[in-house]
Chain A
């Protein structure tokens, strides 16, 4: 190991959360703030989201423009953004990371580390979709980079798996690349996007939406020749195509968190945190979609700013908080974030995900047999944000065991 280089705060990942945290930290005089980014360009996922919807309501931006603004803001505030540098692993103790880049290996010792490593889509293999292993199988992340960053040819006929917002974004990218979207395929009974967007795709662009349908087999040697699909009622069909895009099914990029022995939440699979971004490892904070895969870029950036506040308090001598009581969910809820609660802690806004559509659900918060809270929500769709307030925090018993959120 090389002699460690010292910085005040080391941020891992130059996406919206990491860049926003770095900008705030540097502006607040946290000292030497450094952001490590393993890609060639900073910005994270917005780098390759050509569609709008970034920035503010008043001043909307495309993803790449938003990524540039975040980067400029961080650098203007005095943070250093180092691209093509990979955080490999942790030194045995403390917020110390080993890295490698074109300049060689390094050990970087920080007073605080902010993990902002983001999230990615689960690929075909993790989804256990059977069949052959042809070329032409990708995720939205790969598709968008191929089309928007490199101008690569992606095939002529694509099936898009998943009909949440990201699936529609993938369909837009396929069309932008001059290819045809054969169909959007979703296992759910309806699209998980706004009615206007779903209709624009179906009626405006003539893209069929196959609901209650799963991809059961990939076909073709060398290049994909089609996908076999099965409807819930048992009917099967082959959709001829040379490209299939697996969209959504996001998971946190938790490799570094896991390597560091951070307590992970079994639901989100990201680091377990409470209302504040302190992880189980003192000196290590987490922010953005590594905590909840995935919320919009603006939410990740807001969290980065909040994390910076907690880091500043810590650098000023605030003690590391107790881990708090676990907050868990019951099926059909999939996960909740944050997922620890300290009664005395600041209020949080909880985000959740459901497995199935819940028409106007009531969320119940229990600790043991004790009902702490119930809250009526609007209809919840899979892969869409469902929220819960923190109006029940003061009723949590710190010694009362885990808090459970359910739908009844």
Chain B
């Protein structure tokens, strides 16, 4: 079990190096780690897994009802939805099957709903239903006035994207994969084997998987491929106080029209309500800041969809960059001559599709000459539950009786115990920053943003959570 964040990298070549420890890279590492003969390196520029688009998205487990029919994305989202749903159940990743409503606010949107239902059928998702305004408002009594109808997609679900990524990485590392953090790939060459020049020295591998997300085009070019360009598309999102959660029961999706996609209002598994995202095409791959204009525009749209939402406090604002490539499909390509697979253009559906992408990529790697060898299914992992629909440690008398640290709350807004913080710090992929600890436990993620607990949580992080 190896996780490194500094020092030199191992000098012996790996069988496979995966660049990028986002949700897709981690899923691929986990898939390959099922083959115990393979030596696998998961290489990440940042100090934690899931630090790019994987941590800043809308946290939805998609059915794929609105994918472009016949595309690779449509197939992998459909397969990934089933796979991840099952994986989440056995791993303890919180998922809530709340369903989605595509809400029509004008005649044009209303007219588009039957076409969307038909598209869903072509994507092998026939369970949609058209709702009139009476049924829509019965389902969503806090919806703003003026909605004309909706298309119900019962399978759309909400999920914890962070736990998903960490579960994959944990399983991969436990099964023997090496995770190298703080390892930015600066150059890549291939000559009968891959040679990556990184911020921590050289790393060699026989096969290479490019799961570099926003930077997948740069790595692809280094290996001589000009297939696509990633244009970061920024999505700003507002997270509202848990008091907003009773205001909404479904994921409220906009109806895509010629004028744009609009914004969604969605509950989160943590019990908050999301509003967003914006869609801004940028050229800066580090522009993960929010803007006054973006937030004002979101609030204007949110006011129409769910007026009471605006009365609740905003507890977090974040912005993620999606890897747009100008094509309505993934860009997954095998280059057998180079023992190289590009996994590019993984758009907002990547979380849902991750396990299916990983299986697909393993197949492509075999096609580039990789001998996968025998399969040994990895040990299942049990992830700490961050979801409000399932018992949290402070709600479990059995757990507290066995260990009072689970009854000692440190973060009061999110009700995070000392026991959970201690466990996260002692985990196989421990957090390297307070933000990393927050993603693993939710400590400090609540409405007070550390007014009460910030210093105490930092104390546990810096000096250990011993009683």
- Residues on A facing B (Cβ under 8 Å): 2, 38-40, 84, 86, 88, 100-105, 120-126, 128, 130-133, 135, 138-139, 141-142, 145-146, 149-150, 152, 216-219, 221, 255, 258
Is there a chain A Cβ closer than 8 Å to B245's Cβ? Answer: no
Is there a chain A Cβ closer than 8 Å to B317's Cβ? Answer: yes
* Pair A142/B409 contact, Cβ less than 8 Å: no
Bound form: Cα–Cα A126–B447 in Å? 8
Bound form: Cα–Cα A102–B405 in Å? 6
Hey, which chain A residues are within 8 Å of B314, CB to CB?
A: 125-126, 128
Interface residues of B in 405-453 (CB under 8 A from A): 405, 407-409, 412-413, 415, 433-435, 447-452
Hey, which chain B residues are within 8 Å of A126, CB to CB?
A: 313-315, 447, 449
Instruction: Tell me which of B289, B407, B413, B433 contacts A135 (CB under 8 A).
Output: B433
Instruction: Tell me which of B313, B400, B448 contacts A104 (CB under 8 A).
Output: B400
Interface residues of B in 310-326 (CB under 8 A from A): 313-318
* Pair B288/A139 contact, Cβ less than 8 Å: no
* Pair A139/B458 contact, Cβ less than 8 Å: no
> Contacts A102-B408, A126-B314, A216-B292: A86 and B415 contacting too (C-beta < 8 A)?
yes
Interface of A is mostly: mixed
Is there a chain A Cβ closer than 8 Å to B401's Cβ? Answer: yes
Bound form: Cα–Cα A119–B368 in Å? 62
* Pair A123/B451 contact, Cβ less than 8 Å: yes
Listed from nearest, the 5 A-B pairs whose CB atoms lie closest are A123-B449, A102-B404, A145-B455, A142-B454, A146-B455
CB distance from A101 to the nearest CB of B (A): 5
> Contacts A105-B397, A152-B462: A125 and B315 contacting too (C-beta < 8 A)?
yes
Instruction: Tell me which of B286, B289, B404 contacts A131 (CB under 8 A).
Output: B289
User: Can you give 8 contacting A-B residue pairs, CB < 8 Å?
Assistant: A38-B409, A86-B412, A100-B395, A102-B405, A120-B451, A121-B451, A125-B314, A133-B435
- Give B236's nearest chain A residue, CB to CB: A130
* Pair A84/B408 contact, Cβ less than 8 Å: yes
> Contacts A101-B408, A104-B397, A105-B397: A125 and B454 contacting too (C-beta < 8 A)?
no
* Pair B455/A150 contact, Cβ less than 8 Å: yes
* Pair B454/A145 contact, Cβ less than 8 Å: yes
> Contacts A103-B404, A128-B317, A130-B295: A135 and B455 contacting too (C-beta < 8 A)?
no
- Give B462's nearest chain A residue, CB to CB: A152
Bound form: Cα–Cα A133–B315 in Å? 13
- Give B316's nearest chain A residue, CB to CB: A125
Bound form: Cα–Cα A290–B408 in Å? 24
* Pair B455/A105 contact, Cβ less than 8 Å: no
Is there a chain A Cβ closer than 8 Å to B243's Cβ? Answer: yes
* Pair B290/A130 contact, Cβ less than 8 Å: yes
Hey, which chain A residues are within 8 Å of B292, CB to CB?
A: 128, 130, 216-217
Hey, which chain B residues are within 8 Å of A124, CB to CB?
A: 449
Bound form: Cα–Cα A172–B433 in Å? 27
Q: Which of B289, B395, B405 has the most CB of A within 10 A?
A: B289
* Pair A146/B454 contact, Cβ less than 8 Å: yes
* Pair B454/A38 contact, Cβ less than 8 Å: no
Is there a chain A Cβ closer than 8 Å to B11's Cβ? Answer: no
Interface residues of B in 450-467 (CB under 8 A from A): 450-452, 454-456, 458-459, 462
Hey, which chain A residues are within 8 Å of B397, CB to CB?
A: 2, 104-105
Is there a chain A Cβ closer than 8 Å to B291's Cβ? Answer: yes
Instruction: Tell me which of A104, A120, A258 contacts B452 (CB under 8 A).
Output: A120
* Pair B289/A145 contact, Cβ less than 8 Å: no
* Pair A138/B454 contact, Cβ less than 8 Å: yes
Instruction: Tell me which of B317, B412, B450 contacts A138 (CB under 8 A).
Output: B450
* Pair B289/A120 contact, Cβ less than 8 Å: no
> Contacts A125-B314, A130-B295: A139 and B409 contacting too (C-beta < 8 A)?
no
* Pair B394/A131 contact, Cβ less than 8 Å: no
Hey, which chain A residues are within 8 Å of B451, CB to CB?
A: 120-121, 123, 139, 141-142
- Give A254's nearest chain B residue, CB to CB: B243
Interface residues of B in 197-242 (CB under 8 A from A): 239
Hey, which chain A residues are within 8 Å of B239, CB to CB?
A: 125
Interface of B is mostly: mixed
Bound form: Cα–Cα A39–B459 in Å? 14
Bound form: Cα–Cα A139–B405 in Å? 27
> Contacts A125-B314, A142-B454, A146-B455: A105 and B289 contacting too (C-beta < 8 A)?
no
Bound form: Cα–Cα A152–B460 in Å? 12
Bound form: Cα–Cα A121–B454 in Å? 13
* Pair B286/A221 contact, Cβ less than 8 Å: yes
Interface residues as binary, B387-406 with A (CB distance below 8 Å gives 1, 0 otherwise): 00000001101001100110
CB distance from A123 to the nearest CB of B (A): 3
Bound form: Cα–Cα A142–B292 in Å? 26
* Pair B449/A152 contact, Cβ less than 8 Å: no
Hey, which chain A residues are within 8 Å of B435, CB to CB?
A: 133, 135
Given A100-B400, A123-B448, 16 further pairs, Cβ under 8 A:
A39-B452, A88-B415, A100-B395, A100-B407, A102-B404, A102-B408, A105-B395, A105-B400, A105-B407, A121-B451, A122-B313, A124-B449, A126-B315, A139-B449, A142-B455, A221-B288
Bound form: Cα–Cα A135–B408 in Å? 26
> Contacts A104-B397, A104-B400, A216-B292: A130 and B408 contacting too (C-beta < 8 A)?
no
Bound form: Cα–Cα A139–B288 in Å? 23
Q: Which of B286, B295, B455 has the most CB of A within 10 A?
A: B455
Hey, which chain A residues are within 8 Å of B318, CB to CB?
A: 133
Bound form: Cα–Cα A81–B462 in Å? 29
Hey, which chain A residues are within 8 Å of B400, CB to CB?
A: 100, 102-105
Bound form: Cα–Cα A40–B460 in Å? 14
Hey, which chain B residues are within 8 Å of A131, CB to CB?
A: 289-290
* Pair A150/B459 contact, Cβ less than 8 Å: yes
Hey, which chain A residues are within 8 Å of B291, CB to CB?
A: 130, 217
* Pair A145/B316 contact, Cβ less than 8 Å: no
CB distance from A298 to the nearest CB of B (A): 22
Instruction: Tell me which of B243, B289, B313, B404 contacts A130 (CB under 8 A).
Output: B289
- Give B447's nearest chain A residue, CB to CB: A126
CB distance from B374 to the nearest CB of A (A): 42
Hey, which chain B residues are within 8 Å of A150, CB to CB?
A: 455-456, 458-459
Hey, which chain B residues are within 8 Å of A138, CB to CB?
A: 450, 454
Bound form: Cα–Cα A255–B452 in Å? 14
CB distance from A269 to the nearest CB of B (A): 10
- Give B448's nearest chain A residue, CB to CB: A120
Hey, which chain A residues are within 8 Å of B408, CB to CB?
A: 84, 101-102
Bound form: Cα–Cα A27–B458 in Å? 39
CB distance from A59 to the nearest CB of B (A): 29
Hey, which chain B residues are within 8 Å of A128, CB to CB?
A: 292, 295, 314, 317
Hey, which chain B residues are within 8 Å of A122, CB to CB?
A: 313
Bound form: Cα–Cα A104–B396 in Å? 8
Bound form: Cα–Cα A153–B120 in Å? 55
CB distance from B309 to the nearest CB of A (A): 14
CB distance from A319 to the nearest CB of B (A): 32
Bound form: Cα–Cα A130–B295 in Å? 8
Bound form: Cα–Cα A141–B449 in Å? 11
CB distance from B363 to the nearest CB of A (A): 37
Hey, which chain B residues are within 8 Å of A218, CB to CB?
A: 289
Hey, which chain B residues are within 8 Å of A216, CB to CB?
A: 292
- Give B287's nearest chain A residue, CB to CB: A132
Bound form: Cα–Cα A216–B288 in Å? 16
- Give B243's nearest chain A residue, CB to CB: A258
Hey, which chain A residues are within 8 Å of B415, CB to CB?
A: 86, 88
CB distance from A351 to the nearest CB of B (A): 22
Hey, which chain B residues are within 8 Å of A38, CB to CB?
A: 409, 412
Interface residues of B in 30-69 (CB under 8 A from A): none
> Contacts A126-B313, A141-B451: A100 and B459 contacting too (C-beta < 8 A)?
no
> Contacts A132-B288, A145-B456: A125 and B449 contacting too (C-beta < 8 A)?
yes
Bound form: Cα–Cα A169–B281 in Å? 43
Bound form: Cα–Cα A180–B113 in Å? 59
Instruction: Tell me which of A100, A102, A130, A146 contacts B317 (CB under 8 A).
Output: A130
